[in-house]
Amino acid sequence: MTLRKVPGALALGLGASLVAHGFLYRGEHAMGGPYHAILLQLALAGALSLGFFLGSLALHGARAAADGSVLASRLTARLPGFGAIAVAATAWYAAAEFLEPHHAAAPWLGVALFLAAASWLIGLAARAMLALLAGAILAIFGSVFAPRRPSWSIRRASTPRARSRVCTRRHVARPPPIGFGCRA
């Protein structure tokens, strides 16, 4: 993972850890205890700043792309992968559990499965939102020139025309110069 993907991994990982904690404990207690509101605000600020950053990159690249899917695939390279989001989600989850007062622990296998599932879902949602954002920005700020798109129509198969016998005998309008017997 490159260094430029770390902020995105931290922002998406916090969201994934909040989702996993919510599904694990089903509202019994808030993640982070007294710091729950700060964690929610941090997750919202991280998601909005990541969206603003990717939106500004999409706005910059809107003139160079002919299609929203092209722009989205270029911007997807800026998003962290599943592994980076899962590692960040695990770190956020461990930090929040450290801050919470003592409570009944969830099984480790359940924690790992829910963190992995939440990380995958958050990554999938981020890519879908990025494709939507790229399509919207390209529709609004895209280039004025729209290339012709191919269109298909159904036609009957036509039979080739039969050529007349006169046209098949004559290939050239005049004979070549060598045919006159002239030598230079």
> What are the DSSP calls for the chain, one per residue?
--GGGHHHHHHHHHHHHHHHHHHHHTTSS-TTGGGHHHHHHHHHHHHHHHHHHHHHHHHHHTTT-SSHHHHHHHHHTTS--HHHHHHHHHHHHHHHHHHSPP-PPPPHHHHHHHHHHHHHHHHHHHHHHHHHHHHHHHHHHS-S--PPPP-----PPPPPPPPPHHHHH--SSS--GGGGT---
Can you give the pLDDT at residue 48? Answer: 94
* pLDDT score at 144: 60
For residue 69, count other CB atoms closer than 10 A to its CB.
13
Separation CA 140–CA 142 (nearest Å): 6
pLDDT of residue 165: 62
Q: Which two tokens stand for residue 176?
A: 């070549």
* Per-residue confidence in pLDDT tens, the chain, 184 aa: 788 889 999 999 999 999 999 888 887 788 888 888 999 999 999 999 999 998 898 888 877 776 777 788 888 888 999 999 999 999 999 998 888 877 777 788 988 999 999 999 999 999 999 989 888 888 887 766 556 666 777 777 777 777 666 555 555 566 666 755 555 5
pTM (2 decimals)?
A: 0.70
C-alpha–C-alpha distance, residues 31 and 38, integer Å: 10
Would you state the structure tokens that stand for residue 75, as one six-digit string?
């911007």
Residue with tokens 């092209």: 70
Q: Which pLDDT belongs to residue 175?
A: 65
- Sign of the dihedral through C-alpha 24, 25, 31, 36: positive
> What is the rounded distance in angstroms from the CA atom of residue 126 to the CA atom of residue 46?
12
